[in-house]
Structure 1
Amino acid sequence: MMVSGSRSDWVDKCRKAEDLGYDVIGVADHLGMPAPFPAIVSAAEATERVRLCPFVLNTSFYNPVLLARDAAGTDQLVEGRLELGLGTGYVKAEFDAAGLPFPGPRERLDHLEHTLGELRRLFADGQPRPAQEPHPPLLLGGHRDRMLRIAAREADIVGFTGIGFDRDGTSATVAGPEELAERVEFVRAEAGERFADLELNLLIQHAEVTDDRMAALDGIRAYAPDRSVEELAGLPIVLVGTAEQIAEQLLAQRKTYGISYVTVLEAHLDALGPVIPLLR
């Protein structure tokens, strides 16, 4: 979710998410938004049950030693409710705004791998140590081969974006069901025996509860202009229909892909509320 407005607005938003039945509150890491770790600590103070996740940190902006300190300290303050989401950063404009060079994909992924190694070492040896042993669950996600290969090897939670971005993060292509299936199988092959212990996450791009599914889908055709309404209806990252239809879609995706953890954007927080009880 985006931290905006006053502290009371943020607190109310977090309590609402917990009351609706969400299990995790995610906080984005983008310039122009408040820093994720302070927002997570504030969210923990306002809630009792939900887990809390930076979704996801741009590790290219972080020194691994300082990141380990901040993550371990945050996990202590939220009493072991932290999930640590890590990515490489993909928006060139944000690097420009920070006055930092924008490395190519290989360099950003190299830094992510270095960061993962340092985090594991520092969590074991450093102070403060995380509340969770040996460390908070690691969420790594993406779409392309090398990122998913790293996630298959290192993550506790593998996130699928369902979208592939270009080099500068300015345009994207949407993955259909066949491509998502292929990406999941790629992770399965790379993870080997540890695949059974992985949790799979999918980032939902649009969620809308409606009695007129086809009309609602027609209204979002600009989201994927190269797709027909029927094709939009089949996209795993689009949830449109009655609460019962959406629940049926999510349960089918759990059976087909093994995805048990879905993330929705803040704009769709209310939309998925009536669906959650149908998934329990």
Structure 2
Amino acid sequence: MTDYGHELLFGTFITPVAQPVMHAVDLALVSERAGLDLVTFQDHPYQPAFHDTWTLLSFVASRTERIRVAGNVLNLPLRQPAVLARAAASLDRLSGGRFELGLGAGGFWGPIAAMGGPRRTPGQAVEALEEAIQIIRELWAADQRRGVYFDGTYYQVKGAKRGPAPAHDIEIWIGAYKPRMLRLVGRRADGWIPTLGYLEGGVADLEEMNTYIDEGAAQAGRDPRAVRRFLNIGGRFAPTGRGLFDGPPEAWAEQIAAIALSYGISGFILAADDAATIEIFASEVAPAARALVAAERGRAGVASDPGGQPVH
């Protein structure tokens, strides 16, 4: 059993459909009114049925006041990292520090290439993502006077000026599944976002995947607890329980608490495109799950630290 001690976060994973034109925005507003912590959108720039995710994130940030916004996850091969760094810092400043950077290495290489992007092998995609993370963090380090120089295999920066600095320390959350990517998460990232539906063995896969992240963190001299673990989930609310995330809200809360305490997941992001489901998740599932986890941590003598470090 693994519990990294992070306070629980709850959010939504909304499809950025272009029609109806305001549907995704409306659901983001529902998420904020319901009291959720985070609203996220997938990013497929080659999909004409979707809004451009960066434009949508910016618009949602301007229409909301409290909720954090993030891509889940942004398509790096079609978003140049130095430009992305400046865009992220600007959105974070304009939103009052409410932006987090979810990044993905890419995967749908045919559509990516059709849009003018590169076609990379899995290994190349991991290497390019690590280069991009380094460039992004360098551009954010506005307090350093020397320009940014980076001579990588996939990206080159030759004296770019730093800044603007973000309004807060933007976290970089990575979508990852394979051992090499997971070790990269441990070395370089602040968070990890897998999708439950992509795990062949279900939640049990999280144990081994956490091991790879922790190995990467240890090799880089980092505390594994520095990496927050999220999980994209989906399901339905029903009067009686039939399985994982298929049943009444109280069953969902118990299942979330078990995953949090057993596998160290502290961010639960619901894939939902209707207001009623989002409202139930926020009003009934989230507070019940938080109470269950707090009670169990209390019995174990572990208190949650907002920064994610358990306090004994």
**Common fold by TM > 0.5:** yes
- Listed one character per residue, the Cα deviations across residues 60-109 of structure 1 (whole Å, up to 9, x for unaligned) are 11222211121111111111101100111111342143143421111111
Unaligned runs of 5+ in 1: 165-172, 215-232
**C-alpha displacement of 1:163:** 5.5
Q: Does 1:194 align with 2:223?
A: yes
Q: 1:260 aligns with which of 248, 263, 266?
A: 266
> In structure 2, what is the equivalent of residue 19 of structure 1?
33
Q: Distance in 2 between matches of 1:176 and 1:2?
A: 23
Q: CA, structure 1 residues 177+277, in 2 after alignment: closer, same or farther (shift >3 Å)?
A: closer
**C-alpha displacement of 1:268:** 6.4
Deviates more, 1:53-62 or 1:27-36: 27-36
Q: Does 1:203 align with 2:209?
A: no
Q: Distance in 2 between matches of 1:75 and 1:37?
A: 12
For normalisation by structure 2, the TM-score amounts to 0.73
Q: CA, structure 1 residues 58+278, in 2 after alignment: closer, same or farther (shift >3 Å)?
A: same
> In structure 1, what is the equivalent of residue 297 of structure 2?
none
Q: Does 1:2 align with 2:31?
A: no
Q: Distance in 2 between matches of 1:48 and 1:58?
A: 26
**C-alpha displacement of 1:8:** 4.5
SS at match of 1:139: strand
Q: CA, structure 1 residues 15+110, in 2 after alignment: closer, same or farther (shift >3 Å)?
A: same
Deviates more, 1:76-85 or 1:188-197: 188-197
> In structure 2, what is the equivalent of residue 183 of structure 1?
209
SS at match of 2:70: strand
**C-alpha displacement of 1:201:** 0.5
Q: Distance in 2 between matches of 1:260 and 1:160?
A: 12
CA contact 1:163–1:175 (8 Å) conserved in 2: no
Q: Does 1:212 align with 2:240?
A: yes
Q: Distance in 2 between matches of 1:240 and 1:21?
A: 23
- Listed one character per residue, the Cα deviations across residues 256-276 of structure 1 (whole Å, up to 9, x for unaligned) are 011110112133664324312
Matches within 5 A, 1:35-184: 35-125=52-142, 126-133=162-169, 136-162=170-196, 174-184=200-210
Partner letter of residue 213 of structure 2? V
CA contact 2:184–2:213 (8 Å) conserved in 1: no
Quick one: higher RCO (CA 8 Å, sep 6+), 1 or 2?
A: 2
The structure with the largest helix share of the pair is 1
Q: Does 1:277 align with 2:287?
A: yes
**C-alpha displacement of 1:182:** 1.2
CA contact 2:183–2:214 (8 Å) conserved in 1: no
- Listed one character per residue, the Cα deviations across residues 14-72 of structure 1 (whole Å, up to 9, x for unaligned) are 11011223210102110222222221221122222111101111111122221112111
Identity of aligned residues (%): 29
- Listed one character per residue, the Cα deviations across residues 169-194 of structure 1 (whole Å, up to 9, x for unaligned) are xxxx6233332211112222322352
Q: Distance in 1 between matches of 2:271 and 2:203?
A: 20
Partner letter of residue 244 of structure 1? E
Q: CA, structure 1 residues 269+137, in 2 after alignment: closer, same or farther (shift >3 Å)?
A: farther
**C-alpha displacement of 1:243:** 0.5
CA contact 1:244–1:275 (8 Å) conserved in 2: yes
- Listed one character per residue, the Cα deviations across residues 135-186 of structure 1 (whole Å, up to 9, x for unaligned) are x11101211011111111111112233465xxxxxxxx62333322111122
Q: CA, structure 1 residues 269+143, in 2 after alignment: closer, same or farther (shift >3 Å)?
A: farther
Partner letter of residue 258 of structure 2? A
CA contact 1:161–1:202 (8 Å) conserved in 2: yes
For normalisation by structure 1, the TM-score amounts to 0.81
Partner letter of residue 150 of structure 1? L
Moved over 6 A (4+): none
Aligned residues: 247
Partner letter of residue 251 of structure 1? A
